Amino acid sequence: MNPEHRDILTELEKDAFKEIINIAFGKAAASLADIIGLYVILSVPKVEILQPGEIQQFIEREINETKGLNIIEQYYIGKIRGAAFLVLSYENSKLLLSLLDGEEQQESLNFSSIAMLEQETVTEIGNIIIGACVSKTAELLKDFVTYTPPRFIGGKFSGYDLPQKLFDKETYAIVLKTLFQFENKDISGHLFLINSVESLDWLKKAIHDYMKHYGYE
């Protein structure tokens, strides 16, 4: 199946999938709050399903970042399988770390590098968000997934230098624009779920089963 020659999800399927994602991010927010000891709301104001030819244009439009990006990569395997990439700008990474570690830590950060401890912090946050989001989504769609360990691959990345997995013609991308809300601070990022084309039929059927169960049809 070539996703370039068909719509990946209908509007009704997208609505149902966005509901699933918001439930999953509710779990992710609760998990994150338990770990960091801060009240946090994770919302998903935008969910996009992209064909391979659309990903580069999306990156240029939405997340082109001249100062660089921090990226957490994690693979998952189930009936739906693929790779997750949590993408944060350096600025949003700094702001997130300042909330977790205090304002004095912010002064120690720069755009060219992040200290090992800070990398570990960002990686753990990515691990929590990716794990909770993907596992709850899989649960709601009657699947079970396992994971590889998360990997920090930030550095001198720009919107044009993201991992080539994002542009594989044998995949499609579920892009979740995420908003972290900590009291009066809002931090945005993007979560890419890059899935194999072979899993697309299963995903559509699983969404339809969910829609039928909850009265969409």
In this predicted structure, the answer to whether residue 92 has a pLDDT above a threshold of 60 is yes
**Higher-confidence position of 202 and 93:** 202
**Higher-confidence position of 38 and 4:** 38
Q: Are 206 and 78 in contact (CB under 8 A)?
A: no
Domain span at residue 168?
A: 3-213
pTM: 0.82
pLDDT above 90 covers a percentage of the chain that reads 21
Q: What is the pLDDT of residues 54-85, one digit of tens each?
A: 777 777 777 766 567 788 999 999 998 888 98
> Which pLDDT does position 181 carry in this prediction?
81
Banded pLDDT at 4 (limits 50, 70, 90) = very low
Q: How far apart are CA 84 and CA 73, in angstroms?
A: 6
Q: What is the pLDDT of residues 131-179, one digit of tens each?
A: 989 999 999 999 999 999 999 886 555 544 556 666 666 778 888 888 8
**Higher-confidence position of 31 and 169:** 31
**Higher-confidence position of 131 and 89:** 131
**Higher-confidence position of 118 and 142:** 142
Mean per-residue pLDDT, 33-49: 80
In this predicted structure, the answer to whether residue 109 has a pLDDT above a threshold of 70 is no
CATH number at residue 110: 3.40.1550.10
Banded pLDDT at 5 (limits 50, 70, 90) = very low
Q: What is the number of structural domains in the chain?
A: 1
Mean per-residue pLDDT, 202-208: 93
> Which pLDDT does position 180 carry in this prediction?
81
- The phi and psi torsions of 191 (rounded to 5 degrees) equal -110, 115
| Average pLDDT score, the chain | 79
**Higher-confidence position of 56 and 6:** 56
> Which pLDDT does position 149 carry in this prediction?
94
Q: What is the pLDDT of residues 96-107, one digit of tens each?
A: 877 776 554 445
In this predicted structure, the answer to whether residue 213 has a pLDDT above a threshold of 70 is yes
Q: Which two tokens stand for residue 66?
A: 């001249």
